[in-house]
Amino acid sequence: MATLAINADNAALVWGGAWDRGFKWSLNTECMICQGLYSQIAFTATGTALTINYDVAGTVVLKASVDGGAEATLTNGSVNEFTSVTVFTGLDDVAHTVVIRVTGATVANLFLAFTNVLTVTGAAPAFAAPTGTGPVYPASALRGLGGVDGLWCYQQNPIFSPGYSYPAILATSSVSVWPCTDSQVRFRSNATSLKLFLYRPATGAGSIKVFQDGTAVGGVLACPTVGGADMNWWEFVAGLDGAYHNYTVVVVGNVGCYLVNIMTVGGVIDFATTYPRNRGAIGGIGDSITVGTSGTSGDSTLSFLYKLAVAKNRPSYNGGVGSAYLCSGIVGQVGTSMRYTDITHGSPTTTFDFVVCLIGVNDIALSSNPPPTTGFQACYQNMLQGIRRNVGPSCKILALGILDTSNAKAGPLRDTYNGLISAAVTAMSDANTSYVDTDDWITPATDCTDGIHPTSAGYDKIVTELSPLITTWQADTDPGKANVATGNDYVFGGVSQTAAYPTTATSKAEQLQDDKDAITAGKADILDTRTILTIQGTYDLAAEQAAQFAAGQADQLATDQAAVEAVAGSIYDGVTNLLGTVDGTLTAASIATEVWAYENRTVTA
């Protein structure tokens, strides 16, 4: 029998979960340090026996499954000592698929030896990657790297706070993500299938939706639950064509799942080609209408916020919370169920250009006693002030009025409380905070499921109304501003300068006219054989060449004439009109005189 040992960076090993390459100083050994509960290693080992080399302390439990069988608990070695622990022995000398998982109450102090981490014994020992696997990428590493632009939020919701049901994996924020509605990561890949290493809380109903080049693939996919509290690899999309596409993985629903790794089976993530960049994010603050799942069968990507962000090529932050109130019952206090202070919990590189506030209907529809008018206005103003502190002075805040509703309690009070929202905006005295009248945006009888929550079609109407408001305002020094219609986009230096391209008939016509005016102003420099936006150039290349040739000829003739004129005294006066202007001035008499003088010269011996 022979043995084969491999290091932790061997291509046969598929690492799932949270692992860091590090060093255990007390033992002077390079190692792989586990950072997350339920992390795992998967591989294929050919042989009769297998060992894994690790050091462990505390209550860490390693379990191994061989060829899909039941997990068996490994016997930990001595504390503060790297030990080769048996994974299996006495098996047939064939290829065995092995998954080793980290379980137990904690992951503290688990170190896998980097060198010779696994050793297999057999007649021809070998390691290989399991069938159906591919390169693994940490989801956290995709935020902002290599042209990839994803927005993941670290929400600190009091109901689902870090430590509630998955403490170990969430202890290090750089390891995994705690997503809320519409959290997303974007990448470019040529994979044939996508697998996600994720965890779904037993208390939640998190779902994933995958988009390929903007089109949903597979619909809403429920995150599986394994034993109520496990994390594992799950294949969400298969049968892809293997060509490069832009992918967006979105968490839909009000309770998320925890995504740690992405596996691209049959391909890689392309970091060399720039993924289409997003501009500043659009944030949403509100209740279940903002969440967008109540009237869309749980699919928040059909809500106004996600659709608006996609239309404007921007990331979105969905800060909606179902059944959220604006007021907590105390005058001027913003409801604690809201996430308005979480608007900055997104990607560190993400800035917000817009925040859309749609809140207040629950205060008048669900409360036994609607809040007093002074208290409601104070609450709304405090919310706006809190948002402004978080997003900075240049972000545009849109305070939407409560939507039309057929709710028996909210309907009669809507106009009154919308007036209070408008008053709160006025009191802000903030040029970048605006009240938005939502009258007649939707028809509750046909656009809502219950008179309050819009359907997908209802959300489309909201997007239509909001879209013109997501525009650009440029500083006077911005390059290119003079040739770009207000509210429209332009590119300078290869970088998109915020806002959106014209989408309405009016804005398209305005931009077209501006473009035509710019072309008309410069048409003298455009070939007369070219027509751009119906405007023909007036530059006649043939005529210009002929004119330049003629000018060159005239200049050369004048030079030559001057040169001949300078020697006219040496040219017989019988020669005239040389080069059209020069006559010779040398006469016969002067020639005879010169000849006589020559013949009668005195020769000195």
Q: How far apart are CA 512 and CA 173, in angstroms?
A: 47
Measuring CA to CA, which residue among 14, 11, 30 is closest to residue 22?
A: 30
Sign of CA dihedral 388, 390, 393, 396: negative
**Which residues, in sequence order, are CB contacts of 369 under 8 Å at separation 6+?**
none
Average pLDDT along the chain, 605 residues, taken 10 residues at a time = 96 90 88 86 98 88 94 92 96 97 77 96 98 87 43 33 30 42 81 86 67 87 60 88 89 68 92 62 88 87 90 79 77 58 50 90 86 89 88 91 96 96 96 95 96 96 93 40 46 43 66 82 85 87 84 86 85 82 81 65 57
Q: pLDDT value at position 274?
A: 52
Sign of CA dihedral 330, 334, 339, 345: negative
Q: Report the chain's mean pLDDT, rounded to a whole number.
A: 80
Q: What is the total residue count of the chain?
A: 605
Task: Tell me how far apart the 2 most distant CA atoms of the chain are, in Å.
Answer: 145
* Burial bucket for residue 51 (CB in 10 Å: 0-12, 13-18, 19+): buried
Sign of CA dihedral 177, 153, 341, 437: negative
Question: How many Cα atoms are found within 13 Å in the side-chain-facing hemisphere of 430?
Answer: 24
Q: pLDDT value at position 439?
A: 96
- Looking at residue 116, its amino acid is N
Q: pLDDT value at position 95?
A: 98
Helix, strand, or coil here: 1? coil
Q: pLDDT value at position 45?
A: 98
Provide the token pair at 465. Answer: 């109304």
Q: DSSP letter at 311?
A: H
By the 8 A CB rule, do 113 and 53 touch? yes
- For every residue of 30-60, which 3-state class applies, written as one string? EEEEECCCCCEEEEEEEECEEEEEEEECCCE
Provide the token pair at 165. Answer: 């049901």
Question: Which phi and psi (to 5°) does residue 195 adopt?
Answer: -120, 140
Share of the chain above pLDDT 90, in %: 36
Q: pLDDT value at position 435?
A: 96
Q: How far apart are CA 575 and CA 560, in angstroms?
A: 17
By the 8 A CB rule, do 108 and 57 touch? yes
Measuring CA to CA, which residue among 157, 483, 501 is closest to residue 314?
A: 501
Provide the token pair at 192. Answer: 């044939």
Got the DSSP string for 67-91?
Answer: TT---EE-----TTS-EEEEEE-S-
